[in-house]
Chain A
Amino acid sequence: DIVMTQTPLSLSVTPGQPASISCKSSQSLLHSDGRTYLYWYLQKPGQPPQLLIYEVFNRWSGVPDRFSGSGSGTDFTLKISRVEAEDVGVYYCMQSIQLPPYTFGQGTNLEIK
């Protein structure tokens, strides 16, 4: 199985400040079809996860542009340029290059200072 490792596991950020979450995969997520199968989700308290970013850097519909994804191969980053109170929750990365199974990172808990 591909192991997804996120750091940090917990993050406390002052509103208006940036935040960054790293996700490293145990194998490259770049497929021979040229696509990289890495996704980011945010699970707000008491809610199901919601898609933020697909295929490394593409923002999903309705996702604010303060969220951005980058990276390649095995190293990926989710950045929030200016954290807002509504960004609180647990962030997960997920790979879908290898089936089965798809795997998620452990999650990064973002809280507001």
Chain B
Amino acid sequence: QLQLQASGPGLVKPSESLSLTCTVPGGSISSGDYYWGWIRQPPGKGLEWIGGIYYSGSAYYNPSLKSRVTMSVDTSKNQFSLKLKSVTAADTAVYYCARAPVSGWVNAVPKYYFDYWGQGTLVTVSS
């Protein structure tokens, strides 16, 4: 059972940046078999795919967030990170990190799903 753990501030002020890091045990972050993803869930609501990043740094983001999102990966630390800038109250959510096995590649674009999810971390945007 892979145990992913997201960490970061639980409270962020409006207009500032939200930064979270997910640690992957066992060194598998460098495996070419996986993307590493972020998903969020506003309180009482459904799931929203934020994006995913490959060990090489290749990333795809949700277009609705693309102008504000940056993901990065640090293979030496077995970590991947999410940064969301200019946050508002609408960004208040539980943020999940997850492993994403790549089930196929089409024109160098991955198709993946999420198999192991971290427990999630609640980030509240409030002054």
Residues of chain A whose beta carbon lies under 8 Å from any beta carbon of chain B:
1, 31-33, 35, 37, 39, 41, 43, 47-51, 54-55, 60, 92, 94, 96-97, 99-107
Instruction: Give the chain B neighbours of A31 by CB distance below 8 A.
Output: 104, 106, 111
Other-chain contact of A49, B48, B63, B117 (Cβ < 8 Å): B117
B96 within 8 A of A: yes
* Min CB–CB distance A36 → chain B (angstroms): 11
- Do A60 and B115 touch across chains, with their CB atoms under 8 A apart? yes
What's the count of A-B pairs with C-beta under 8 Å?
73
- Do B111 and A37 touch across chains, with their CB atoms under 8 A apart? yes
- Do B110 and A99 touch across chains, with their CB atoms under 8 A apart? yes
Query: Chain B interface mostly helix, strand, loop or mixed?
Result: strand
- Do B117 and A97 touch across chains, with their CB atoms under 8 A apart? no
Within 76-117 of B, Cβ neighbours of A (below 8 Å) are at: 96, 98, 103-104, 106, 109-115, 117
- Do A48 and B111 touch across chains, with their CB atoms under 8 A apart? no
- Whether A54 touches B63, Cβ cut-off 8 Å, given contacts A31-B106, A106-B46, is no
Query: CA A54 – CA B111 in complex, angstroms?
Result: 12
- Whether A104 touches B110, Cβ cut-off 8 Å, given contacts A35-B103, A48-B117, is no
Q: How many residues of B contact A (CB 8 A)?
A: 28
- Do B111 and A50 touch across chains, with their CB atoms under 8 A apart? no
- Whether A101 touches B109, Cβ cut-off 8 Å, given contacts A35-B103, A48-B120, A92-B46, is no
Q: Which of A47, A51, A54, A102 has the most CB of B within 10 A?
A: A102
Instruction: Give the chain B neighbours of A1 by CB distance below 8 A.
Output: 63
* Min CB–CB distance A45 → chain B (angstroms): 12
Other-chain contact of A99, B98, B111, B117 (Cβ < 8 Å): B111
- Do B49 and A54 touch across chains, with their CB atoms under 8 A apart? no
- Do B49 and A104 touch across chains, with their CB atoms under 8 A apart? yes
- Do A35 and B61 touch across chains, with their CB atoms under 8 A apart? no
